[in-house]
Amino acid sequence: MIGIFDSGIGGLTTVKAITDRLPHADILYFGDTARTPYGSKSADTIRSYSVENGDFLIKKGAKIIIIACNTASSAATDLLRQRYDIPVFEVITPAVELAVKTTLNKKIGIIGTRATISSGIYEKNINFLDPEIKVLSNASPLLVPLIEEGFLDTPETKRILKKYLIPLKTRQIDTLILGCTHYPILKDLIAAKAGKRVKIIDSSTAIAQSVVNFIGSHENGDILTGTSGRRDFYVSDITPQFGNLAKNILKSTVNLTHREL
Ligand code: DGL
């Protein structure tokens, strides 16, 4: 069984990308809706929430963990890898590798939560692969609450998005990493505002592909993923918005179970 967690709804973009590619895998999802957003919290708090989430998934039988949250990936990957003896995937590396392969003018833009951007992890990992690449990042803290509230195609969201993208566009990025798993929900809008010349890198599809590659090359791939196509969704707070957005992302109705914190 693949255990996946996020601070809320965003990790469902990763669930969709994984289940499109591995339909028979068993999926256990946890969205920490009671404590979202993580992006404005301190690294210590994000780490302690991530440990609770990882422990929960493992207790329920996960054999692989995906940290489907850039914020938690930037703060807690090392800690979770030390703590568990099962594979732990994070969403940053696959997006970085794809962006480095994609850029032609060596100018990559990143939008993400405050915690992700201020961790500097994208710059560090991109420049480790190619020190000549210029990395331009902009924290976009209002996008997660707008998405969680279902403000997906409203004038307010468009205006805010434009404001976040202008500094990156004026510095002529040709590649933009959506450094938050919530943002693929606004992918069409972001692509339209970023302009035709900018290639969008979606961290949820990038991680899905790297998990598929890992499973394909692992002799016990089916044992790790399970094969019954079971889906279990847990949240720390059940809200009608979550149910509606989840249906929108996964294209099917989702039964939510409350996890007491
Ligand atoms: N989906 C999460 C991410 O990828 C963050 C949202 C939050 O701030 O909680 O960073």
How far apart are the CA of 219 and the centre of ligand 1, in A? 33
10 class by beta-carbon count within 10 Å (0-12 exposed, 13-18 middle, 19+ buried): buried
- β-strands 27-31, 231-235: how paired? parallel
Task: Please tell me the predicted confidence (pLDDT) of residue 215.
Answer: 95
Paired tokens of 31: 């969205």
Task: Please tell me the predicted confidence (pLDDT) of residue 241.
Answer: 82
Examine residue 37 and say whether the peptide bond preceding it is cis (omega within 30 degrees of 0). yes
- From first to last of its 261 residues, the chain has per-residue pLDDT tens of 999 999 999 999 999 999 999 999 999 999 999 999 999 899 999 999 999 999 999 999 999 999 999 999 999 999 999 999 999 999 999 999 999 999 999 999 999 999 999 999 999 999 999 999 999 999 999 999 899 888 999 999 999 999 999 999 999 999 999 999 999 999 999 999 999 999 999 988 999 999 999 999 999 999 999 999 999 999 999 988 888 889 989 999 899 999 999
Q: What angle do CA 230, 232, 235 make, to 5 degrees?
A: 170
Fold designation for 92-203: Rossmann fold (3.40.50)
The percent of the chain in helix, strand and coil, each rounded to the nearest 5, is: 50, 20, 30
Entry pTM: 0.94
Paired tokens of 179: 């450094």
The domain over range 2-90+205-258 is classified in CATH as 3.40.190.10? no
Helix (H) or strand (E) holding 13: helix 12-21
**Ligand 1 close to Cβ of residue 33 (< 6 A):** no
How far, in Å, CA of 166 to CA of 100, rounded? 22
Q: Please report the atom of ligand 1 found closest to the CA of residue 141.
A: 8
Residue range(s) in the chain whose domain bears CATH number 3.40.50.1860: 2-90+205-258, 92-203
**Ligand 1 close to Cβ of residue 157 (< 6 A):** no
How far, in Å, CA of 193 to CA of 169, rounded? 9
User: Which of 69, 73, 186 is the pocket-test mutation for ligand 1 (most atoms within 8 Å of CB)?
Assistant: 69
Which residue in this structure is represented by tokens 């929108």? Answer: 248
Classify the phi-psi angles of 120: left when phi > 0, otherwise alpha if psi is within -120 to 50, otherwise beta: left
Say if CB 30 and CB 53 are below 8 A apart: yes
